[in-house]
Amino acid sequence: MELPPQARSLWRDPNRLRLIALLPFFWFLFTMCLSGPTRSASEEAGLHLPSSECLPGASRVTVNFSWTPVEGAIVQWLDLTVHDNGFVPGTFMYAGALPGNSHGWAWEGIEVGKLHLWRVNAQTEGGWITSETGAFVPCGAPALLEPSVSCEGPHAKVTLRWAPSSGPDGGVADQWLDLSVVEDGFGSALTRSEGPLDGEQWSFDLGHVLSNVEYHYRINTPTVWGWTPSPVGALQADCDFTAVLPCGDVLAPLDKQHRLAADCEPPDLVQLPASISYGGPQRLRAEAADALMRMLREASAAGLTIYARSTYRSYQEQDFTFNYFVDQLGRARAERISARPGHSEHQLGTAADLTAASAGFQLSEAFGSTAEGRWLADNAFRFGFVVSYPRGKEHVTGYAFEPWHLRYIGEAAAFDVVATGLTLHEYLLLRWYQ
């Protein structure tokens, strides 16, 4: 790593004899590593958290170090480094010989907001003693605290909170907030910049459309070396202000704007026969289950064996499923292939994901090209089922092509969908609001 200029100049100091003088000390360290610590160094030279003064515009930063002196110390040296691996020879600065129990060190090479390590070495009659290593961040960046979000519609309200950095008076005014929907978009992709802020929190209205967007934010504090940003925080309101449909309606136009309540559970779920179930027990509402069994019997008579692989899913199960896809594929992709909890047709108890051995029992686009998938596409409406998310209609339905996902709406309605050429989504919306 790049050395602070001060460290380089110290290291080039003609007084290199000190290096030689330190050789016994390194030897001491080495033997201590072999034999284990003989004395508790922290008892001997306790370190206190240093305080740093970071006045905006000042050219130097002073850090005040203090420690409990070692009894009988002849001479003390203070070591300081920003090196991650500790006090690697050639990468740390030092000051000595220090007589007392404190040292104010002013220097220009300090790296604001970076972790610094320090220790005190004391020469005693019995040899060199090294304290524990202390750590501090000069003029530390603000620490972000947990934001709070309220979804008491019609808008989501967010309050961001932080602990201001330790400035000259314990707090820093003139802080600025950066907000972006792009993870590292604090440059050109900045969504919002707010300031100057002199408190420890800031509230704003996320509105209604953007309540489900993930935001990234940071607090910038002015320091000697320019703006010191906090770590980046992320927040998402995750409020669902979409319309709630009555529970149990077979023709409910469930989509990204319409949902079921979390406690909506269909009243008449029945378990499907094991012979047509794949991957554990499957449940549908009684009427949909009857229709599915008739449909699969007829397919079977045509030499096609079709299984139900995923059927009724509770709100909680859908919550788990959706979040699984978000973790695996990222939010954008998850939104295309999975529904948010409350928005899934599987919660109706009338939707079934179907597959066959010819598709490796997978729920994949390939199922649409199998004999079983083609038969369903042609015949399902006769039993009251419709493919909810057809090919090439993602801009209408909001979901990618799912040849395996069929929803029961009754024979008359299914016939209408086929006759009108509308997607199920369009048909149900028209019918619901007409």
Least separation in angstroms between residue 189's CB and Zn ion is: 35
Q: SS3 sequence, 31-85?
A: HHHHHCCCCCHHHHCCEEEEEEECCCCCCCEEEEEEECCCCCCCEEEEEEECCCC
Q: Are 411 and 380 in contact (CB under 8 A)?
A: no
CB of 378 to Zn ion, least distance (A): 20
Binding mask 31-50 for Zn ion (x = CB under 5 A): --------------------
Binding Zn ion by CB under 5 A: which of 10, 353, 380, 385?
Answer: 353
Q: Which stretch binds Zn ion (CB under 5 A): 5-13, 150-158, 300-308, 349-357?
A: 349-357
Give the residues across from 104 on adjacent strands: 64
CA distance 128 to 26: 9
User: Cis link prior to 142 (omega < 30° from 0)?
Assistant: no
Give the range of 102-110, 199-207, 399-407, 412-420 binding Zn ion by CB under 5 A.
Answer: 399-407
Beta bridge partners of 94: 79
Number of residues that bind Zn ion (CB under 5 A): 2
Residue 405 interacting with Zn ion (CB under 5 A): yes
Displacement of CA 359 from its chain's centroid (Å): 35
User: Of the ranges 177-185, 219-227, 291-299, 401-409, which one interacts with Zn ion (CB under 5 A)?
Assistant: 401-409
Single-letter residue type at 134? G
Q: How far is the CB of 405 from Zn ion (least distance, A)?
A: 4
86 Cβ contact partners less than 8 Å away, ≥ 6 residues apart: 117, 133
CA distance 432 to 257: 13
- Give me the 166-205 binding string for Zn ion, x by CB under 5 A, dash otherwise: ----------------------------------------
How far apart are alpha carbons 411 and 416 in whole angstroms?
9
The tokens 């306790």 sit on which residue? 46
Cβ atoms of 157 and 203 closer than 8 Å: yes
Q: Distance between CA 161 and CA 174 in Å, rounded?
A: 15
Rounded to a whole number of angstroms, the minimum distance from the CB of residue 347 to Zn ion is: 11
- Does 255 participate in binding Zn ion (rule CB under 5 A)? no
- Report in angstroms how near the CB of residue 1 gets to Zn ion at its nearest: 53
Q: Which is nearer to Zn ion, 150 or 316 (CB)?
A: 316
Rounded Cα–Cα distance for residues 234 and 213 (Å)? 10
Name the residue nearer to Zn ion (CB basis): 65 or 312.
Answer: 312
Min separation Cβ 261 and Zn ion, Å: 20
Nearest residue (CB) to Zn ion, 80 versus 354: 354
Instruction: Report, in Å, the least distance between residue 214 CB and Zn ion.
Output: 25
Please state the closest distance from residue 352 (CB atom) to Zn ion, in A: 7
CA angle 367-318-284, nearest 5°?
Answer: 65
Q: State the nearest-atom distance from the C-beta of 144 to Zn ion, in Å.
A: 39
Nearer to Zn ion, 343 or 405 (CB): 405
Give the range of 76-84, 150-158, 176-184, 346-354 binding Zn ion by CB under 5 A.
346-354
| Candidate ranges 190-198, 202-210, 351-359, 389-397; the one touching Zn ion (CB under 5 A) | 351-359
Measured CA to CA, the distance from residue 302 to residue 90 in angstroms comes to 81
Residue nearest to Zn ion (CB): 405
Does residue 309 belong to the site contacting Zn ion (CB under 5 A)?
A: no
CB proximity list for 417: less than 8 A, separation 6 or greater: 381, 386, 409, 423, 424, 427
Nearer to Zn ion, 353 or 372 (CB): 353
Per CB under 5 A, residues contacting Zn ion are 353, 405
